[in-house]
Amino acid sequence: MNKLSQITIGALLALGTVSAAQAGTLDDVKKKGFVQCGVSAGLAGFSAPDDKGNYSGIDVDICKAVAAAVFGDATKVKFTPLTAKERFTALQSGEVDLLSRNTTWTLNRDTAQGLSFTGVTYYGGQGFMVRKSLGVKSAKELDGASVCTETGTTTELNLSDYFKSNGLKYTVVALGSNSEAVAAYDSGRCDAYTTDASGLYATRIALAKPDDHIVLPEIISKEPLGPVVRQGDSQWFGVVKWSLFALVAAEEYGVTAANVDESKASSANPEVKRLLGAEGEFGTPMGLPNDWAYQIVKQLGNYGEVFDRNVGAGSPLKIDRGINALWSKGGLQYAPPFR
Amino acid sequence: MAKQDGAGGGARRASLLYDPAFRGIAFQVVLLAVVLFVGWYLYHNTTQNLAQRNIASGFGFLSQPAGFDIIQAMIPYGSNATYGEAFVVALLNTLLISLIGIVLATVIGFIVGISRLSNNWIVARLATIYVEVLRNTPLLLQIFFWYFAVLRALPGPRQSISPVDGIYLNQRGLYMPVPVTEPGFWTIPVAFILGIAAAVGISVWARRRLMATGQQFPAFWAGLAAIVLLPVLAALVTGVPFTFELPELKGFNFQGGLVLIPEFMAVLFALSLYTASFIAEVVRSGILAVSKGQTEAAHALGIRQGLTLRLVVIPQALRVMIPPMTSQYLNLLKNSSLGAAVGYPELVAVVAGTVLNQTGQAIEVITLTMAVYLTFSLLISLFMNWYNARKALVER
């Protein structure tokens, strides 16, 4: 009996301490030594593994920027490939520290689902891709078409809204993952495939004959894509949010991976000095080293470099900067002041 | 217990610790306390975490508009549908594929199982190959095989295979004419029900006559004739009160008629063929469990092979077969969830997939999904247990 009661009490105490020890995500990440980042399993330009299993893409670079800010080392990231269906549960349950997976910022997700969007890495919109042989020139001509998409996305909802508001009929084939949806479209199950326009271009170049498919001109929704963290941890929220802002601010001030050392040492602009940690204390209050933004730019470049390398002119996707240009150049990318 | 209390009384109180009855109860109380505590802890921890992360809880979301479409819905499911209705649609889709799958798997399983014991060398070998191939490959792979390899190889809508006008088979599914009712149609289902009643009556009468006089009557054929002929007669008398709506190629796809979507067909084929391979083994073992002497005795009485199987062997084999059959039916029901992989809109795909994602109510949604599978599994179990009790050997 004594032994049994000891074991029981021990077990109860062990259970009790689990709930007591709930530290912030930043402390957990520091203790682990890496950032666990949820990404897409394969969307060229956003996050896709190469033949050695190394992920690259704009979403991946956000994860790396956070690692560079926390550890001063952009390689301290581990990636968890997630489907659209799995992503939120993985984040809510703590399986990943950060979700950077072409995820659309919506009101419901940001409030009722326990998620917090930290900003926008890419302003996109939903479009359609069809076979050229159909002779379709506009999404308005898709009456009666069958459309393939990935289940558990805003895409599914926009699709329904768009067809209803235009009085068109359609059938939706919603598959479990993006690769299955693309395979179903490619094999002829559907007349059209729909996702964010950027995703359409990424998908198109991966098809057997990219030239047989066209992306229709209509953009039927706003899809601000950005990193997501759990609600209720404002410290970690701040770290991720400002890592993204540091990228944008660096582009605005003309700081690049190449000139970051020189800028830090000799820039006359006080805002650049504050950004790079040469002046003031802007890292410590966040729980980060003072040179956190310097490390991000040094290792990954600024937002413009990240964009060009992954989805822009320097990549196979060749997506125009468009509304993703800086606010000062007619776009929407804007970072609050570093002061 | 009472005896010990009476004998020992207060004198033995010191060694209550060594009283087996007391210890038995004490252990159970402790176990119960631990289970309750763990349950409470899980509940408390979950609600606390949900509150901390601002995740709304409760089943209120079921009455919110869903805003997404479902490719196959047996009840009207339109633009104003709620998450609750999406749940019902998915539930019905799961039930539809499970019920048809169970019937198909049972029929195929019986045929293959009996074929495996056939004296015909080729038939027996073919049945063996069927069983070994389907039983030893993963079900998910078979679903993918049917969906991506077989059904994708079909032509596009414009080059549909059409054995007769009105039936079209292409990548988008199997399109069939659907009857559209006109006034007077009600006579046909009524006649059909009367036909079934007549068939039951005939079989009861034939059985009584057989017992009384020993004369046989082709009750099966007579019953079948009643079930088929009465509705036909009703249709002719009322002047054929229905027309067929034919599927037509309009724009991208066929419109109208009845369509079996490829997702449904792939999952149905895979589920029923896979489960049939297990049922075949159950049937074979059931038949082998019946002593060969029973067959020999029946033959010695001059009963033909077919009748021997039907009247002597299978009734005895059923007693062995029913319990493992129950497991196979349960497996089929649960395996229908793999339909999610190819986009068949069943419970896991729609509810645990789309609804969960759109609402973020993971705990409620998963609870609901589990409750459905549990309920239907228990119902199948109950039914099979009842059937088993009926078929069990009656000992006198």
A132-148: pLDDT as tens digits? 998 899 999 999 899 99
Residue B208's H or E segment, with its range, is helix B187-213
Restricting to A residues 113-132, those with a Cβ less than 8 Å away from any Cβ of B are 113-115
Set of chain B residues whose Cβ sits within 8 Å of the Cβ of A172: 68-71
CATH number of the domain bearing residue A54? 3.40.190.10
pLDDT confidence of residue B80: 79
**Among A173, A180, A185, A236, which would you mutate to test the B interface (most chain B Cβ atoms within 10 Å of its Cβ)?**
A173
Q: Model-level pTM? A: 0.81
Span(s) in chain B for CATH 1.10.3720.10 = 83-143+261-390
The alpha carbon of residue A189 is apart from the nearest alpha carbon of chain B, in Å, by 6
Indicate the residue type of A280: G
Question: Is the pLDDT reported for residue A13 higher than 60?
Answer: no
Cβ contact, residue pair B353, A109, below 8 Å:
no
Set of chain B residues whose Cβ sits within 8 Å of the Cβ of A187: 148, 152, 171
Candidate from A114, A146, A180 with C-beta closest to B55: A114
Q: Is B189 on the interface with A (CB under 8 A)?
A: no
Question: Is the pLDDT reported for residue A191 higher than 80?
Answer: yes
Let me know if residue A269 belongs to a domain.
no
The b-or-e profile of B207-243 (16+ CB within 10 A means b, else e) is eeeeeeeeeeeebeeebeebbeebbeebbeebeebee
ipTM for the assembly: 0.77
Candidate from A114, A159, A176 with C-beta closest to B360: A114
Cβ contact, residue pair A144, B262, below 8 Å:
no
pLDDT over 70 percentage in chain A? 93
Let me know if residue A298 belongs to a domain.
no
Set of chain A residues whose Cβ sits within 8 Å of the Cβ of B356: 85, 89, 152
**Among A82, A154, A171, A185, which would you mutate to test the B interface (most chain B Cβ atoms within 10 Å of its Cβ)?**
A171
What does A269-299 look like in DSSP terms, one character per residue? -HHHHHHTTSSS--SGGGTS-TTHHHHHHHH
The alpha carbon of residue A176 is apart from the nearest alpha carbon of chain B, in Å, by 6
DSSP three-state, residue B175? strand
Instruction: Encode pLDDT of B53-107 as tens digits.
Output: 777 778 888 998 888 889 888 888 876 799 999 999 999 999 999 999 999 999 9
Restricting to A residues 225-244, those with a Cβ less than 8 Å away from any Cβ of B are 230-232
Restricting to A residues 50-79, those with a Cβ less than 8 Å away from any Cβ of B are none
Q: Nearest to residue A61, comparing CAs of A232, A305, A314, A224? A: A305
List the single residue in B with minimal CA-CA distance to A104. B358
Question: Is the pLDDT reported for residue A23 higher than 70?
Answer: no
Set of chain B residues whose Cβ sits within 8 Å of the Cβ of A90: none
List the single residue in A with minimal CA-CA distance to B351. A152
Cβ contact, residue pair B54, A172, below 8 Å:
no
Distance CA(A295)–CA(A276), nearest Å, equals 8
Domain that holds residue A37: 25-244+314-320
**Overall average pLDDT of the A50-59 stretch:** 92
Residue B382's H or E segment, with its range, is helix B362-391
The secondary structure of chain B in percent helix, strand, coil, rounded to multiples of 5, reads: 70, 5, 20
pLDDT confidence of residue B232: 87
pLDDT confidence of residue B1: 44
Residue carrying the six token digits 């413009």 = A304
Do residues B359 and A115 lie in contact, with contact meaning Cβ atoms separated by under 8 Å? Answer: no
pLDDT confidence of residue A15: 46
pLDDT confidence of residue A1: 43
* A21-25, A266-270, B48-52, B204-208: least confident range: A21-25
Let me know if residue A140 belongs to a domain.
yes
Right CATH number for B83-143+261-390 from 3.40.50.1970, 1.10.3720.10, 1.20.120.420, 2.170.120.12?
A: 1.10.3720.10
Cβ contact, residue pair B53, A231, below 8 Å:
yes
Q: How many CB pairs under 8 A join A and B?
A: 139
Candidate from A84, A112, A156 with C-beta closest to B360: A112
DSSP three-state, residue A13? helix
- What pairs with residue B178 in β-bridges? B245
Q: Is A168 on the interface with B (CB under 8 A)?
A: no
Let me know if residue A303 belongs to a domain.
no
**Overall average pLDDT of the A301-330 stretch:** 93
Residue B377 — very low, low, confident or very high, per pLDDT cuts 50/70/90?
A: very high
Cα A17 → chain centroid: 34
Let me know if residue A4 belongs to a domain.
no
